[in-house]
Amino acid sequence: MTLTLAFVAGVTLTKWTRLWDERRAEVPLAFVATTEQSQAAVLLDGTADVGFVRLPLSVGEERELSVIRLYSEVVVAMLPEDHPLADEDSVVLADLEGMTLHDNQGSLKDAVDLVAAGVGALVVPHALARQFNRKDIVLRDVIDAEETWIAVAWLAERETADIEEFVGIVRGRSANSSRGQTIPRKEKIDPDLQIATEKPPRVKPEKPRGKYVHRSTARPQGKRRRQGR
């Protein structure tokens, strides 16, 4: 039996797959590369057990899937190296008005080739753009673009023990944690809610309070002279 992971371009799985291999080596992993158009379909039809998807999903897909956001992505503009905006550190969407903006719904490589040829620009998550290390294209942050999100998703009605455990690993669950009790690393635990595993410290009984007697510690300063009668 295997656990099949689907992922869109720009997602690095190494950290999570390494932890899985350390804890569940008896269940090998299989992988399916998807596009943003097919990322939900492979989960809905059972091709993959868990998917790393780029949001947003359609309303219908969200109803069928359990989805947990993981992290946001910086959005960049891919521009020809000789474009006037290439001298800027960052751009806004208004700067790109009048340019042909390619989308990444088709072949991303074809769109990148058009940009390199001086035809338009491409606005994509940085994780996608960095796959193309080309000297004839520059990347500039689009500071007012709506950020994109990477999420982990699975079919809600198909929540097996393996799926639950893998999602737990992605969310940061340690090997000793019980399933379903994920605790964020930086979250402080209220000591009043912890289960005592050690004997409580002994409390010394208070000594009974007796009558207080004042004892002077001052040294006597010699005998007083008698006064005359």
pLDDT tens readout for residues 47-87: 999 999 999 999 999 999 999 999 999 999 999 999 999 99
Mean of the per-residue pLDDT values for the chain?
Answer: 83
Cβ neighbours of residue 200 closer than 8 Å, sequence gap 6 or more: none
The confidence band for 10, taking pLDDT boundaries of 50, 70 and 90, is: very high
| Distance between CA atoms of residues 151 and 6, nearest Å | 12
Instruction: Using DSSP bridges, classify how beta strands 65-73 and 148-155 pair: parallel, antiparallel or unpaired.
Output: antiparallel
- Into which CATH architecture does domain 3-73+147-170 fall? 3-Layer(aba) Sandwich (3.40)
The confidence band for 103, taking pLDDT boundaries of 50, 70 and 90, is: confident
Whose CA is closest to 29, among 54, 50, 52, 58? Answer: 50
Cα separation values, 51 from 8, 36, 87, 115, Å: 8, 11, 38, 30
DSSP helix/strand/coil, 126? helix
At 199 the pLDDT is 43
Better-predicted residue by pLDDT, 104 or 11: 11
The kind and range of the H/E element at 113 are helix 108-116
Could you tell me the fold of the domain covering 75-142?
Answer: D-Maltodextrin-Binding Protein; domain 2 (3.40.190)
CB atoms within 10 A of CB 175: 8
Say what the pTM is: 0.73
Domain(s) of CATH 3.40.190.10: residues in the chain: 3-73+147-170, 75-142
Structure tokens at 42: 């492979």
